[in-house]
Chain A
Amino acid sequence: MIEGLNPGTILILGALLVPLTSGVIRSILLLVLPILALGQLYALGLGVWGQYEFLGLSIEVTRIDKLSRIFGTIFCIASLIGVIYSLHVKDTVQHFAALIYMGSALGAVFAGDLITLFVFWELTAVTSVFLIWASRTERAFKAGIRYLIIQVTSGVTLLAGVILYYQDTGSIAFEYIGLGSLAGGLVLAAFGIKACFPFLHNWMQDAYPEATVTGTVILSAFTTKLAIYALARAFPGTEILIPIGVVMAIFPLIYVVLVNDLRRVLAYSLNSQLGFMVIGVGIGTELALNGTAAHAFIHILYKSLLFMCMGAVLYRTGTVKTSELGGLFRSMPVTMVFCLIGAMSIAGLPLTGGFVSKAMIMSAAKDYGIVVIWLVLLFARAGVMDHAGIKVPYFTFFGQDKGIRVKEAPFNMLLAMGIAAFLCIFTGVYPAFLFSLVPFEPTYDAYTAGHMLTSVQILLFAVLGFVLLMRYKIYPLEQPATILDFDWIYRRGLKSLTLAIGRLILVVWGWILGVANGALGAIINVTARTHGDGKLMARTASSGRSIALIVAILGVVVVFFYR
């Protein structure tokens, strides 16, 4: 342990060694780094380190409190799982970028001031795009460019907010900011882009399905949860977050039903789950913030588990399109079991982690006293059944047999999935572990008979709804398609508008050039007529004539003006 070293920097510095290694040594290096970071986190304990004065700003490189520690812990675990999952990959760029990305997300969580946060914030953007580009397809390249533009916009907005905030308050401490000023608004917008607020969300559904098999798993864990952490730190109890979260929780569920690419389905479902957390931050009570932190913790586990299962399917079969998959339980039974565990956890069945963390947020919503929020959360819980409980496992592993026969996923993938699945169940069966990590003193019991009964009722009746809809062929058939979302605005709408403006500029420019050409031509013509060869102004005359003319003019002047 190095005194006060931000655990994130361990991963970043370690990444610099990656290009120098290969084979087993690289694998060992990759595995050791997240464990070292976790060790450093717990060896340090709670406190503040690395305070410097820099240009009159007080920088605070490492700050560990209970809120940052729970996010840091799950980030370390997610790093380890991600590294194990991608051990078979022989791509230096991916390993290098992934380590710096994970390290900078971890570093951002422990940043005690807004400048350090900004540096790590931008670093996550710049490094993560390589996990998308590593697919090395044109689609991935274009999606990566769009992703990078939006992510960097978030960083620039954050910087603008930080500068204004420093002007307002004279401080850059990363504490409660609130929505009192333009500075707060800009910072919230920056966080909102990464947290996938409605209309700012499309970068995720656009880019995540284009990343590599292992890249998506790693991407899904960090960026958005870093934003949730930042919101929980700077905007707890900001009420505008509640309606934002409500829209986030519901709106993506409709897309989940329609979208064909299962990794895109999971990206929409991730968006919906973020809605739960944003509502939790908006409510801002101790129970709600505990619930948000716990839900982020569990969410990273089950979401990366589901992404890993779909990644394994993609790795083996070459597709994750619902319309092309079916009946895979014959070929990949172990992956299927892990997928079902992930599905049960995201649906929040009792004895899984999702049950505990969702119950906390829902209880906080109930205590808050607005029935609509509570109903919306219930709706989202029933709706989650569609993609998580049903669409992902059913259409992949069961459903109509499409005759795909492949090998089971590689061992390292299964191991990573196994760890995530184990933790999903462990946190559900032994919630005391989760409660020991949450930021505030937990005073909550998820396992009351009422909670268990109602959640099982909601989920099972949603399943019944699905089964009936399938049986009577009302459920919409899966078909390959693009489903329009808000990104249409900038991928088609704004593009057409820009092209139209471009054409208009071309026409106007052509007209101006034409007019200018005409004017110039006219001037040249006139000049040629007057000053051209042998023309009036170009003729030469003898000196005698000139003198006679001058004498005549002088004569006139003398006669008429001399007095």
Chain B
Amino acid sequence: MTEPERDKKYWLEEPKNQNKVFYCLLVLCGLLAIPDVVKLFGVLFQTEGNFELKSLLKFYSIYGALCYVALIFIAKWLRPVLLRKEDYYD
């Protein structure tokens, strides 16, 4: 490992560009969600039959984001229970 030297600034290091990446992701997600949104209208405004919760499971985008956030929150919640010092077993 050498001492950190003043090397060239990378494109990704600018906070401005990091924001750009974030907005690109938002736009991409928005585009991907279009089929789901259309489907959602279909479910909400269907003229016959009752609204079924099961049909919501077809919305993979919502499911993906929810699963991920749920996972992180479960982990955060379990952390105080499971966390010990690094040399716990030594």
Contacts and interface: CB of A to CB of B under 8 A. Distances in A.
9 contacts: A254-B75, A258-B83, A371-B57, A383-B68, A386-B68, A455-B60, A464-B29, A474-B76, A483-B84
A430 interface: no
Nearest to B2: A405
B62 A461 contact: yes
Interface string A381-407: 111011000000000001001011110
Specify which of A457, A482, A485 lies most central, judged by the most chain B CB atoms within 10 Å of its CB. A457
A465 B89 contact: no
For the residues of B in contact with A, the DSSP-based class is helix
A469 B4 contact: no
Nearest to A316: B1
Given A257-B71, A317-B1, A458-B60, A481 B86 contact: yes
A253 interface: yes
A476 B75 contact: yes
Given A258-B83, A378-B63, A460 B71 contact: no
A66 interface: no
B51 interface: no
A157 B75 CA distance: 35
B65 A462 contact: yes
A379 interface: yes
B52 to A, nearest CB: 13
Nearest to A462: B68
Interface in A240-273: 253-254, 257-258
A375 B64 CA distance: 11
B1 A318 contact: yes
Contacts of A466: 68
Interface string A283-311: 00000000000000000000000000000
Contact of B2 (A406, A453, A483, A492): A406
Interface in A439-463: 453-463
Interface in A51-89: none
Contacts of B85: 481-482
Nearest to A406: B1
Interface in B27-77: 28-29, 32-33, 35-36, 54, 57, 60-65, 67-69, 71-72, 74-76
Contacts of A474: 72, 76
A330 interface: yes
A455 B64 CA distance: 9
A29 to B, nearest CB: 34
B61 A457 contact: yes
A461 B72 contact: no
Interface string B1-44: 11111010010110000000010011011001101100000000
A485 B2 CA distance: 36
A408 to B, nearest CB: 13
Contacts of A459: 64
Given A462-B68, A481-B85, A484-B84, A457 B2 contact: no
Given A458-B61, A458-B64, A467-B25, 6 more contacts: A257-B71, A371-B57, A461-B61, A481-B85, A482-B83, A483-B83
